[in-house]
Amino acid sequence: MKVEEVRDSFNKTERYLNCNTSILVRVNLIKNMTKCISYDNIIEIGCGDGSIGLSILEDHKELTLLDISENMIGRAKENTPSRLTRKVEYIVGDIFEYRLGKKYDLVICVGVLSHVPSIERLLKIIESILSESGYVILQFTESHSLFGWFNYKFMNKTDGGYKVNKTCYGELSPLLLKLNLKLIDKEVYSDSGLLLSRLNPSIAYKFKLFTSKLQLPSIFSEVIILLERQK
């Protein structure tokens, strides 16, 4: 895939964001995940409309929102409450090219691993900007699950026309261990757009959230993991 293809795909903000109940599910799960950890500086890589990062931003914290899509950053600016504007830095850029000048206590990378030229290189970049006792939140589609196999088999192309990367925890795990990132929490939920697209958005959201309580990694495809940097 090329940078331009990814940018063009996500610049179609309405197509991606309209009735996307998975964003709401991710916000819910990540807010719960972060309740028991301590952090002040946050960066969300591939932030989209900023829903996730903004949902955990408080007055005493700082947030950097980075996305390759200028249109998505525009939406993130619109979604930022006026009282928090001074706490947010907005960056339109490619994480592989942009040089960030500081370390972060929490790095969020959701819906990104499928759309990058090198997952391993991205993980190394994340490790390089992580503070000494920092945390990482990653989201990916588990290709070894039933729904993951279905999605990759029949829904593996984006609006940009490129094929998404195939991901699974079995392949990510050794890369994360090499970077001294230890798994401390994991959530699994359903996100089969083909099966849920005809449902009312409110019902689809509740169903997806319900599936996260079942913890069936062999069936449901979407995974969110919380990692802690080991000293």
Find all residues with CB under 8 Å of 229, minimum gap 6, and list them: 127, 130, 131, 132, 133, 134, 135, 136, 180, 181, 182
Q: What is the structure's pLDDT at 73? A: 97
This prediction has a pTM of 0.93
Q: At CA 167, angle to CA 161 and CA 169, rounded to 5?
A: 165
Q: Quick one: angle between helices 201-214 and 21-33, nearest 10?
A: 40
Which residue is it, tokens 């070894």?
Answer: 144
CB 55 within 8 A of CB 27: yes
> d(Cα 225, Cα 7) in Å, to the nearest integer?
25
Please list the ranges in the chain whose pLDDT falls under 70.
1, 156-160, 192-199
Which two three-digit tokens encode residue 94?
Answer: 């490619």
Q: What is the structure's pLDDT at 222? A: 94
> d(Cα 54, Cα 211) in Å, to the nearest integer?
25
Q: In what order do the strands lie in the sheet with 104-109?
A: 88-92, 62-67, 41-45, 104-109, 130-141, 222-229, 181-189
Per CATH, the homologous superfamily of domain 3-229 is Vaccinia Virus protein VP39 (3.40.50.150)
Q: What is the structure's pLDDT at 224? A: 97
Beta-bridged to residue 90, according to DSSP, are: 65
> d(Cα 43, Cα 63) in Å, to the nearest integer?
6
Q: What is the structure's pLDDT at 160? A: 62
Which two three-digit tokens encode residue 56?
Answer: 């955990």
Q: Average pLDDT over the chain, rounded to whole?
A: 90
CB 134 within 8 A of CB 104: yes
Q: What is the structure's pLDDT at 91? A: 97
Which residue is it, tokens 């903004």?
Answer: 54
End-to-end CA distance of the chain: 35
